[in-house]
Amino acid sequence: MVVRLRPHHLLCMLTFVGKGYNAEFVANYTAIARRLSEGEEIEVVSGPDDICRPLLNDPEAHCREHGVATRDELAAKAVARLLGRSVRPGDRLRLSRALVGRLREAFKEGTIRTACRGCSWSNLCSTVSSSGFSGVKVLGSAVPAETATGTCAPLPA
Ligand code: SF4
């Protein structure tokens, strides 16, 4: 099994503390956070993903909006630059403690947050970040560092 995630959720998962759009969304997200913390692989996808799933019965769900796709593009670029790897549909990665720590450090410094501009959850995510990520649900797994970035291809020179 893999967890299918759109790129901007690689940021959102860093500050998930059990809050979200509705109870079903939070329950699903919490289960995904547990799987990620246990070291299940992530597959990067385009468009609505496993976290979006409980919202997709609504034909107007924001998950399909153009602005959210732009958020994905910005997040993919930022995370790829940080990791020195591609973050494109089909790429896979696994969250080691080191990788999650690196992402959280950059998130806290604000260097990978251009995708957060205009997001209604931004204040909450900033508060979680500045509190030292207290109460977050996604923890890095104990996978060896050498497999931490999975099958993501190196970025072209
Ligand atoms: S501010 Fe929005 S896009 Fe950024 S991490 Fe939080 S929920 Fe995700």
Does a structural domain hold residue 69?
Answer: yes
Atom number, ligand 1, closest to the C-alpha of residue 113: 4
Does a structural domain hold residue 156?
Answer: no
Does a structural domain hold residue 137?
Answer: yes
Ligand 1 residue neighbourhood (C-beta within 6 Å): 8, 11-12, 15, 115-116, 119, 121-122, 125
Distance 75 CA to ligand 1 centre (A): 10
Atom number, ligand 1, closest to the C-alpha of residue 119: 2
Arithmetic mean of pLDDT, 56-71: 94
Arithmetic mean of pLDDT, 21-32: 98
Residues 24, 26, 27, 33, CA torsion sign:
positive
Q: In the predicted model, is pLDDT for residue 144 greater than 50? A: yes
How many domains does the chain divide into? 1
Domain that holds residue 62: 2-147
Does a structural domain hold residue 154?
Answer: no
Does a structural domain hold residue 67?
Answer: yes
Residue whose Cα lies nearest atom 4 of ligand 1: it is 116
Atom number, ligand 1, closest to the C-alpha of residue 125: 6
pLDDT at 146: 43
pLDDT at 40: 96
pLDDT, tens only, 126-137 = 999 999 999 999
Q: In the predicted model, is pLDDT for residue 148 greater than 70? A: no
* pTM flag (> 0.85): yes
Distance 115 CA to ligand 1 centre (A): 7
In contact, 151 and 94? CB cutoff 8 Å: no
Does a structural domain hold residue 130?
Answer: yes
Q: What Rg, from alpha-carbon coordinates, does the chain have?
A: 14
Distance 121 CA to ligand 1 centre (A): 6
Atom number, ligand 1, closest to the C-alpha of residue 115: 3
